[in-house]
Amino acid sequence: MINLRGKRIFLFIIDVTLIYCLSDITSTAMGLVAPNPENHDSIEKQILYNGRAWRNLYTKIKGDQFLFTADLLPGSVTIGKRTFENLILKYDIYNDELLTTTDHGIILQLNKEMVDYFNMKYIDKTYFFKKLDADSLNTLSGYVNILYEGHVSLLVKYRKEILLLAVENKYDLFNQLHKIYLKKDGEIILINSKRDFLKQLEDRKQQVRTYIKSNRLKITKKNPESFQPVIEYYDRLRYPNQ
């Protein structure tokens, strides 16, 4: 009897809430009540907040699971054609999940199925990320950092692994890794070395090598951004009128 009564109370509350919401929408549509911009903003935010409350499951592991820092960073998120500005974000690269805080201070894990892009600012630099879906040609998926996007694009995938008992043989440790990818002719290619990289640019081999030498560029896998000026140059060479 107690359970049945509780269910009836719950259903009554839901019914009242729905009636209130529908009457408010109807009144606004008929011009009886002026639309409230704050209500519109809150409805829009529900698109962003379509996720779940986050809990930190790794408090006993040294380090953290986030990119750059465990602090919240300024940024924005794009879902469809809607961009939400002035957010604070964390990017969990161990689980490949994006976090934000709600208006009530709750840390929320965003619904990755809905997010298309996001950016984060760290030490006066803005990093742009795009969500990719794996397909029959490419296995790379999830959030990737777009260092350069053109006819040929340069991508970086960050992740963290857990090294067991790596600290004093007592504590596990988060260790950060990254992989560099080139997107060319619709294919996403893993770049394991400078040699791999230059091999993908062989159709402009001499010009690229001259450019690297004359500009004294040092290309190293440890620094993905070192590949960027070469890709930009190659893209201009290959598509000069576009």
Model pLDDT, residue 140: 93
Q: Which whole number is the average pLDDT over 26-54?
A: 62
CA–CA separation, 88 vs 101, rounded Å?
7
Model pLDDT, residue 209: 96
Residues 93-111 have pLDDT tens digits of 999 999 999 888 899 999 9
pTM higher than 0.85 for the full model? no
Model pLDDT, residue 198: 95
Residues 222-238 have pLDDT tens digits of 999 999 999 999 999 99
Torsion, CA 217, CA 220, CA 221, CA 225, rounded to 10: -30
The answer to whether the Cα torsion of 217, 221, 222, 226 is positive or negative is: positive
Residues 158-199 have pLDDT tens digits of 999 999 999 999 999 999 999 999 999 989 999 999 999 999
- 107-112 contacts: CB < 8 A, separation 24 or more? 107/53, 107/54, 108/49, 108/51, 108/52, 108/53, 108/54, 109/51, 109/52, 109/53, 109/54, 110/48, 110/50, 110/51, 110/77, 111/50, 111/51, 112/142, 112/143
Model pLDDT, residue 3: 52
Q: Which whole number is the average pLDDT over 59-82?
A: 96
29 has pLDDT over 70: no
Q: Which whole number is the average pLDDT over 63-76?
A: 97
Q: Worst-scoring range by mean pLDDT, 23-37, 69-83, 102-116, 200-214? A: 23-37
Model pLDDT, residue 112: 94
Sheet holding 82-92, edge to edge: 51-53, 107-110, 97-101, 82-92, 73-79, 117-122, 125-132, 142-148, 152-167, 171-184, 187-191
Model pLDDT, residue 45: 77
- Please give the share of the chain, as a percent, with pLDDT higher than 70: 81
